[in-house]
């Protein structure tokens, strides 16, 4: 039996493989060796960047009149994940969950679930975060 005979891919809406289906006899042979890896997967459902906050972010950027350039870097103070540009990071460690033209950007850390708030003022950015209860 070749690999393509026993492995079936389930595609997401973008046409990219999202899940793999295996015959149970194949699965029973590999289950014990794969199980430890599966336990490391986060149990929360995948959070997808929605278009609403992105639209608000675009409006926020169009209204930008602060005395410094926009910095797309995001850092999670709880688990330490960081990116130099959340918009272009292939790992998308952060999801923008809220944005408004008043200067508030709210990010969700995919790794630990922490909420990170960037409050943009005329001269500086204030950072706040709240970590989900264990
Ligand atoms: Zn985090």
**What is the rounded CA–CA span in Å between residue 35 and residue 97?**
32
Contact between 122 and 63 (Cβ < 8 Å):
no
CA 103 to ligand 1 centroid distance, Å: 22
What would you report as the CA-atom Rg of the chain, rounded to the nearest whole angstrom? 20
> Hey, which residues does 105 pair with through a beta bridge?
99, 118
pTM of the model: 0.65
CA 62 to ligand 1 centroid distance, Å: 29
pLDDT tens column, 51-84: 888 999 999 999 898 999 999 999 999 999 999 9
Structure tokens at 98: 């809220």
Sign, CA dihedral 27-28-30-34, equals: positive
Distance of CA 19 to the CA centre of its chain: 18
CA 4 to ligand 1 centroid distance, Å: 37
pLDDT tens column, 82-121: 999 999 999 999 999 999 988 999 999 999 999 999 999 9
**What is the rounded CA–CA span in Å between residue 92 and residue 110?**
8
CA 94 to ligand 1 centroid distance, Å: 9
Which of 106, 117, 134 minimizes the C-alpha distance to 49?
106
Contact between 56 and 50 (Cβ < 8 Å):
no
């Amino acid at each position: 039996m070749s690999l393509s005979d026993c492995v079936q891919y389930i595609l997401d809406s973008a046409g990219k493989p999202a899940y793999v289906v295996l015959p149970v006899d194949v699965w029973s042979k590999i289950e014990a060796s794969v199980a430890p890896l599966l336990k490391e997967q986060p149990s929360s459902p995948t959070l997808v960047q929605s278009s609403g906050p992105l639209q608000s972010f675009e409006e926020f950027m169009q209204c930008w009149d602060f005395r410094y350039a926009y910095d797309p870097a995001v850092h999670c103070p709880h688990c330490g994940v960081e990116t130099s540009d959340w918009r272009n990071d292939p790992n998308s460690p952060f999801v923008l969950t809220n944005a408004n033209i008043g200067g508030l950007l709210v990010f969700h850390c995919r790794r630990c679930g922490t909420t990170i708030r960037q409050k943009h003022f005329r001269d500086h950015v204030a950072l706040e975060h709240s970590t989900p209860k264990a």
